């Protein structure tokens, strides 16, 4: 699941940056998502910035989830071992 979020975050960041490059320099139309949607007419730069930031946040969040080890941030359980005698008496 972590890899899926990392890949989605990377693609969103790439689409946002590619959209900014397209808006500012008028080239690199390959990953232009915002231009193909008519909703953002006049707000293409802001929409591309938001897409790039959401992608970065998604990548950082997937790293944070991966670091906890899947136990929800709790500390690992402590395992106690007995002495070789078996009953714990000295």
Output the pLDDT for position 51: 95
pTM beyond 0.85, yes or no: no
Confidence of residue 35 (pLDDT cuts 50, 70, 90): confident
Q: Could you report the per-residue pLDDT of 13-31, keeping only the tens digit for each? A: 999 999 999 889 988 777 7
Does 70 have pLDDT greater than 60?
Answer: no
Helix, strand, or coil (residue 80)? coil
Output the pLDDT for position 88: 58
* Distances 30 to 15, 21, 23 between C-alpha atoms, Å: 9, 11, 13
Task: Give the HSE-up count for residue 33: Cα atoms under 13 Å, Cβ half-sphere.
Answer: 15
Does 72 have pLDDT greater than 60?
Answer: no
């Amino acid at each position: 699941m972590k890899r899926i979020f990392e890949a989605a975050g990377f693609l969103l960041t790439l689409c946002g940056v590619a959209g900014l490059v397209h808006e500012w320099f008028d080239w690199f139309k390959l990953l232009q998502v915002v231009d193909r949607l008519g909703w953002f007419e006049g707000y293409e730069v802001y929409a591309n910035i938001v897409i790039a930031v959401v992608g970065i946040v998604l990548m950082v969040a997937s790293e944070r989830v991966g670091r906890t080890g899947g136990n929800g941030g709790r500390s690992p359980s402590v395992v106690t071992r007995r002495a070789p005698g078996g009953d714990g008496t000295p």
